[in-house]
A and B are shown apart, each in its own frame.
Chain A
Amino acid sequence: MLLRICSVILILFAFWLMLSGQFSILLLTLGGFSALLSVAISAQMRLFHGKTQLAKLVWSLPKYWLWLSVQIAKCGLDVALRIVHPKLPIEPSFIKIPVSKSSGLGRTTYANSITLTPGTLAIKIDEENILVHTLTKAAGTDLMSGEMHRKIPLE
């Protein structure tokens, strides 16, 4: 846990440097203090007690984001074409998608990814299911195949 806290302090400080771009003593000190303060508050909120391994996510999460971006582009173009189509060919419906992520972070990421992808919208989330509103039949069957669920690198 100490290792995690130290690495978070370092990351936050690097983040400060990146955003400020100033290297005067005053600003460096302020940055150090704010990194420490954020970590202290996070520790108070027990944010360091989780089991998620940060190092593993450094590689797998950007890979997932890339896949998700391609997905967003594909579905977005499909929905855009349907919007400008004179007949407005949509078949909206509600479906229930099973979810087997044990962590809150995993479930949140799944629901957020569903909503981010145009054509699907996560409405209600509980331990086992997500209620999704879909704009087309194809969007629903895509979700049912569970590909997105498998690609998320969180448990």
Chain B
Amino acid sequence: MGNRAPHQVAKMVDVITWVMLVLGSGLVLVGGIGILRMPDVYTRLHAGGITDTLGAGLILVGLMTQSGWGGATIKLCLILAFLFFTNPTASHLLARTALKFGVKPQPESKKGSSSKV
């Protein structure tokens, strides 16, 4: 042990941070590609969802590993929590408004299948 252990722990935390940030950025990129590739507004919202949940989540958790136990980490947690409450609200409103104004899904998808109890 001695005085080498803390140094190694810090290095490991750095590696974890890097992995999370790179993975998170990659998923944000994939979300963006998805928005371009998907055929209509509803499927595009699914692609955007990846950016908001997994992408932003991984990046924020990666930053938390660097900020240590303190005010900054709590604030990062709060950002994550607010993101997870506001993102579905916005997606839901976009989709509902699109449906209300008659935006047709592309390609024609089957509507209204079974509703089991």
Contact = CB atoms under 8 A, between A and B. Distances in A.
Contact of A79 (B42, B50, B95, B109): B50
B30 A84 contact: yes
Interface in A103-155: 111-116, 118-124, 129, 133, 135, 144
A117 to B, nearest CB: 8
How big is the A interface, by class?
Answer: 35 or more
- Identify whether the interface residues of B are mostly helix, strand, loop, or mixed: helix
Interface residues of B, number: 41
B84 A116 contact: yes
Nearest to B89: A112
B20 to A, nearest CB: 12
Interface of B: 27, 30-31, 33-34, 37-38, 40, 42-43, 45-47, 49-50, 53-54, 57, 71, 74-75, 84-85, 87-89, 91-92, 95-96, 99, 105, 109-117
